[in-house]
């Protein structure tokens, strides 16, 4: 039996360090399967059902809004993912090249909080799903099973996560297709096509929800593309990620919408899925449970890398080993389980509301990241400086990025429509959170102006020094 080479380890041995060119592997299509499979899950399906139940759109207008929102938002996640092969480092470590070594801790902290929040929410959801399938299993035991399973996948790391999602693409994709066929092959309610209608507020809210959904993945997309060969370019990773992320979410949102319209008005989303799919319902519930666990491994993986990035910021000579990743995974697992076991009945709704509110901090970061990588530096970074104690050419703090970042957050607040805060202009379009649009519109040109001004001043200083 052949020995597994260091280039093909079962358990990933890299953490936040640079992946050498000799250890690069994989194909761009791996990004398609990762993001397609990840997004065929209960949460996007439940959210898709909201299009009919909350925003009161009919099938046609609902599908158009879903598709447009995800197709627009998918550009952000795809551009972030395409950075991985060029950089060979996790997304949060790369932020040092934009914010400075210590300045990057701003977004790293929020990213870790978001990952941990989603991890807790998903292990609660996994626990409830297990109880729904096997009622004899106690809730605490169900939560622990879901948490331990996700942790095992996260500890093994990059290669195993991609392998599971390659399998999941075929399994989950086929199951969802079968669900669509089952629904349309049986009698549909008389108002299936006419329930709801068009209203500008609901339509814009659905489009915004799709855009925000895609942006929420951007802080860790290059974590799953950084092992790809450096010569793979930008186009192929972009297309693979874009198609996977948008097709997966559009199908899941659409499935939730169709299931909601195929059952009596007011039926709870997952109950609607069970009723609408008949004999397929129990099978879908089991597959959804497995997908929750697999997807939750991404949240744990991202949280661990973010925490390691924070610690390594203050210990530049330290190269974290796999043991560190395992220990941190165990600590996060224990803490999250304590919170999950004591969670209230409406914990998931409350926590998701908190996490969605934190997306206010992601929009300015995504704006700065994309402008810096594609427009200003055009993919050329000094990797050695990113790991130097003083930040190298990027310094400890990049005030231009930090100023643009905070202004990008502040300008969103008047338009914010979250569970934590509702701005004075939040209801310009009722039900639609348009703060992300303001954040993008302000942060992108502001950072570009500040960064290019800094570059011009530096060039002039270098010319003066050369003349002297």
417 forms beta bridges with 422
Q: Which of 98-112, 291-305, 340-354 has the highest mean pLDDT?
A: 98-112
Check pLDDT > 50 for residue 356.
yes
- Categorize the per-residue pLDDT at 412 as very low, low, confident or very high, splitting at 50, 70 and 90: very high
Is 129 exposed, middle or buried (CB count within 10 Å of its CB: 0-12, 13-18, 19+)?
A: buried
pLDDT digits (tens, 9 = 90+) for 281-309: 888 888 888 888 888 888 888 888 888 88
Is 17 exposed, middle or buried (CB count within 10 Å of its CB: 0-12, 13-18, 19+)?
A: middle
Please tell me the least confidently modeled range out of 151-155, 248-252, 453-457: 453-457
Is 139 exposed, middle or buried (CB count within 10 Å of its CB: 0-12, 13-18, 19+)?
A: middle
Check pLDDT > 70 for residue 230.
yes
b/e map 162-181, b = 16+ CB within 10 Å? bebbbebbeebbebbeebbe
Check pLDDT > 60 for residue 1.
no
Check pLDDT > 90 for residue 52.
yes
Class of domain 21-355: mainly alpha
What 8-state DSSP symbol labels residue 197?
B
- Categorize the per-residue pLDDT at 349 as very low, low, confident or very high, splitting at 50, 70 and 90: low
Q: Where are the domains of the chain?
A: 21-355
- Categorize the per-residue pLDDT at 431 as very low, low, confident or very high, splitting at 50, 70 and 90: low
- Categorize the per-residue pLDDT at 6 as very low, low, confident or very high, splitting at 50, 70 and 90: very low
- Categorize the per-residue pLDDT at 365 as very low, low, confident or very high, splitting at 50, 70 and 90: very high
**Contact assessment for residue 126 and residue 287, using Cβ atoms and an 8 Å cutoff:** no
**Contact assessment for residue 112 and residue 307, using Cβ atoms and an 8 Å cutoff:** yes
Check pLDDT > 60 for residue 460.
no
Please tell me the least confidently modeled range out of 23-32, 149-158, 177-186, 208-217: 149-158
pLDDT over 90 percentage in the chain = 40
Structure tokens at 265: 């008005």
**Contact assessment for residue 368 and residue 406, using Cβ atoms and an 8 Å cutoff:** no
In this prediction, residue 7 carries a pLDDT of: 46
pTM of the model: 0.87
Check pLDDT > 50 for residue 3.
no
3-state SS, one letter per residue, for 266-332? CCCHHHHHHHHHCCHHHHHHHHHHHHHHHHHHHHHHHHHHHHHHHHHHCCCCCCCCHHHHHHHHHHH
pLDDT over 70 percentage in the chain = 91
In this prediction, residue 467 carries a pLDDT of: 39
More confident residue, 347 or 374: 374
What 8-state DSSP symbol labels residue 254?
H
**Phi, psi of 422, deg, nearest 5:** -120, 120
- Categorize the per-residue pLDDT at 2 as very low, low, confident or very high, splitting at 50, 70 and 90: very low
- Categorize the per-residue pLDDT at 355 as very low, low, confident or very high, splitting at 50, 70 and 90: low
In this prediction, residue 344 carries a pLDDT of: 62
- The mean pLDDT of 274-286, rounded to a whole number, is 88
In the predicted model, what is the mean pLDDT of the chain?
Answer: 85
CA angle 234, 155, 165 (to 5 degrees): 50
- The mean pLDDT of 242-266, rounded to a whole number, is 94
Neighbouring CB atoms inside 10 A of 271's CB total: 12
57 forms beta bridges with 197
- Categorize the per-residue pLDDT at 181 as very low, low, confident or very high, splitting at 50, 70 and 90: very high
**Phi, psi of 26, deg, nearest 5:** 100, 175
């Amino acid at each position: 039996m052949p020995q597994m080479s260091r280039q093909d380890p079962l358990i990933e041995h890299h953490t936040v360090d640079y992946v050498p060119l000799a250890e690069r592997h994989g194909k761009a299509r791996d990004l398609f399967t990762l993001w397609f499979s990840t997004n065929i899950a209960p949460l996007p399906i439940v959210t898709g059902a909201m299009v009919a139940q909350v925003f009161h759109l009919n099938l046609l207008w609902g599908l158009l809004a879903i598709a447009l929102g995800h197709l627009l938002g998918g550009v952000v996640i795809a551009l972030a993912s395409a950075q991985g092969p060029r950089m060979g480092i996790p997304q949060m470590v790369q932020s040092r090249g934009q914010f400075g070594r210590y300045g990057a801790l701003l977004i790293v902290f929020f990213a870790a909080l978001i990952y941990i929040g989603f991890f807790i929410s998903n292990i609660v959801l996994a626990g409830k799903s297990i109880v729904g399938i096997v009622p004899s299993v106690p809730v605490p035991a169900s939560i622990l099973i879901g948490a331990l399973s996700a942790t095992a996948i996260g500890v093994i790391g990059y290669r195993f996560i991609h392998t599971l999602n390659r399998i999941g693409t075929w399994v989950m994709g086929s199951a969802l297709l079968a669900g669509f066929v089952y629904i349309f092959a049986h009698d549909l309610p008389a108002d299936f096509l006419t329930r709801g209608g068009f209203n500008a507020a609901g339509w814009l809210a659905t489009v915004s929800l799709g855009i925000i959904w895609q942006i929420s993945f951007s802080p860790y997309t290059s974590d799953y593309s950084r092992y790809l060969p450096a010569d793979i370019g930008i186009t192929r990773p972009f297309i693979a990620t874009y198609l996977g992320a948008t097709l997966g979410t559009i199908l899941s949102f659409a499935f939730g919408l169709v299931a909601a319209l195929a059952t009596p008005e007011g039926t709870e989303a997952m109950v609607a899925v069970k009723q609408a799919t008949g004999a397929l319902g129990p099978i879908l519930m089991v597959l959804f449970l497995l997908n929750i666990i697999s997807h939750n491994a991404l949240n744990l993986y991202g949280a661990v890398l973010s925490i390691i990035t924070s610690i390594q910021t203050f210990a530049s000579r330290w190269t974290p080993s796999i043991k560190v990743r395992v220990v941190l995974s165990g600590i996060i697992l224990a803490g999250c389980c304590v919170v999950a076991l004591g969670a209230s009945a409406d914990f998931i709704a409350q926590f998701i509301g908190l996490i969605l509110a934190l997306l206010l901090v992601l929009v300015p970061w995504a704006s700065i990241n994309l402008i810096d990588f594609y427009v200003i530096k055009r993919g050329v970074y000094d990797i050695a400086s990113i790991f130097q104690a003083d930040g190298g050419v990027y310094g400890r703090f990049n005030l231009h990025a930090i100023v643009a970042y905070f202004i990008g957050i502040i300008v969103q607040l008047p338009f914010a429509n979250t569970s934590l805060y509702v701005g004075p202009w939040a209801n310009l379009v009722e039900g639609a959170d348009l703060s992300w649009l303001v954040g993008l519109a302000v942060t992108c040109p502001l950072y570009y102006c500040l960064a290019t001004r800094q570059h011009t001043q530096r060039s002039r200083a270098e010319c003066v020094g050369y003349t002297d």
